[in-house]
Amino acid sequence: MNRTEPKANLISLENTITSGGDERIELIHDGLNKYHINPCDNQGVFNRGTCTCSVLTDEAKERVSYLFNGFKDETISFEEVRKEQVKSLKRLLNNVDFNYNVFFAPSGSDLCYYPILFSKLINPNKPIMSLVTCPEELGSGSAMANQGHFFSEKNQILPNVVKGESVNPDISVEYKSFNARDEAGVILDHHESIKSTIRKYKDDYSIIGNLVIGSKSGIEDNISIIEECQEDVLWVVDLCQLRTSRDLLQKLLKLNCLVMVTGSKFYQSPPFCGALLVPEKINTALAHSKPETWGFDKVYTKYDFPTELGELREKFIDYKNYGLLLRWECAVTEMKLLSNYKESVVNVTISRWNQHMTELLLDSPYFDLMLDQEKTNSSIISFRVKVNGAYLSHEQLQTLHKAIVNEPPPLLPKFRKLIIGQPVAYGDNSFIRFAIGSHNVRKLLDNDMDLTNDTRLVETIERLIKERRY
């Protein structure tokens, strides 16, 4: 595959923020991305879709504008900003002295290649088996990436790739998935099935176990299986939504899990920015391995790797992804601002919002909450839409969603645009979502928990349903 040297995109802040990733982040029609927003245009936006896509907050825009101008003038160093980001992330995500490294990637889906690379570095002669829970509620490209396939039509390095093609044809990944829900929407427990699979294949394969704590609807896997099968599996926990406590994050790192996080969900950075937290035991194994790219130099740059792995790092292309760096800076800015509030206060705020929205949905003839909502994270509310006793199909929900996010909301005259979570299909069914993030929580606290706009949001969707905008 031919590879041309990618160039830094410093034409404008808008161009930079929407560069350095796959086609999902690009502005494709009327100045909007596939999620129907321009991440740099935050004026008059009411966002209750932090599970999908966010715009720059005022605070983040001020910070990244300053950095962008410094990069253009060459008065600010890319590498120094990255070093400070790593320090900030470690301080903000983990308030105890625990040694781990931070690897970066343009999205959560891109993070999924790291465990395959690590498996080949640590056990180069063993085939790989990837066990994945909640595949239908992960990022759209995660299933393909977990199999070592390109999940998009381009990436931060290559302007054109063949979607579905192997990143490295010499690496074969046996893929086994465990669905999140049954046809009725009930959350499934795969604990025993996964344990049985591990026992059967652990001697012949390098097994990667992918669990999720915070799927698109907020599903949280039971992590007790990690302690039960700790020695036989490279465990990866998808914490990409980052809707969790520091205590849980610390526990996972102490259990030698690879932990995937993103700044573009709860912390409301523009899409997308991913990071993999890698505990000391695995870092040591990587440091003692023979430094090879195993074909993943088609995906990662040297700056995605920690400086502690110098020999491995130098095997990858010397490309500074300013878009990814600035998107992470948006998230770090928001993390710092939220850290001024007690975790208990944040949790109570989210709970009060959840209770209010849940009551509105339950009182409406058009909405049904997804089953097992109590088993999911309370900052995400997933629900189905029904008309005359029949649920809307995935295609109908997509049409309704497009009307919600593209048309000026008459019941919310202070806003010109609404954002809610995109529809998620499971089997032949589908649901949509409300989700709040860090900036939303801070604004609710600053405005005495005024939920009037949230009430108007539900009423707006009801009006669109009555008008048959689906």
6 lies in a domain?
A: no
pTM of the model: 0.92
pLDDT at 2: 43
The whole-angstrom separation of Cα 68 and Cα 448 is 35
175 lies in a domain?
A: yes
CATH of the domain at 331: 3.40.640.10
Closest CA to 304 of 149, 79, 43: 79
The whole-angstrom separation of Cα 132 and Cα 234 is 12
Would you call the peptide bond into 431 cis, given omega within 30 degrees of 0 as the criterion? Answer: no
pLDDT by 10s per residue, the chain, length 470: 445 556 667 889 999 999 999 999 999 878 999 888 999 999 999 999 988 789 999 999 999 999 999 999 999 999 999 999 999 999 998 766 678 999 999 999 999 999 999 999 999 999 999 998 876 666 668 889 999 999 999 999 999 999 999 999 999 899 988 877 777 778 777 788 888 899 999 999 999 999 887 555 555 556 888 888 888 899 999 888 888 888 888 889 999 999 999 999 999 999 999 999 999 999 999 999 999 999 999 999 999 999 999 999 999 999 999 999 999 999 999 999 999 999 999 999 999 999 999 999 999 999 999 988 887 889 999 999 999 999 999 999 999 999 999 999 999 999 999 999 999 988 889 999 999 999 999 999 999 999 999 999 999 999 999 999 99
The whole-angstrom separation of Cα 269 and Cα 411 is 27
Number of independent structural domains in the chain: 1
350 lies in a domain?
A: no
Token pair of 64 as six digits? 């990244």
26 lies in a domain?
A: no
pLDDT at 95: 60
303 lies in a domain?
A: yes
388 lies in a domain?
A: no
Backbone angles phi, psi at 2, to 5 degrees: -75, 140
pLDDT at 290: 97
pLDDT at 29: 77
181 lies in a domain?
A: yes
Backbone angles phi, psi at 181, to 5 degrees: -135, 160
Q: Which residue has the tokens 């509620």?
A: 137
162 lies in a domain?
A: yes
Expressed as residue numbers, the domain containing 138 is 68-336
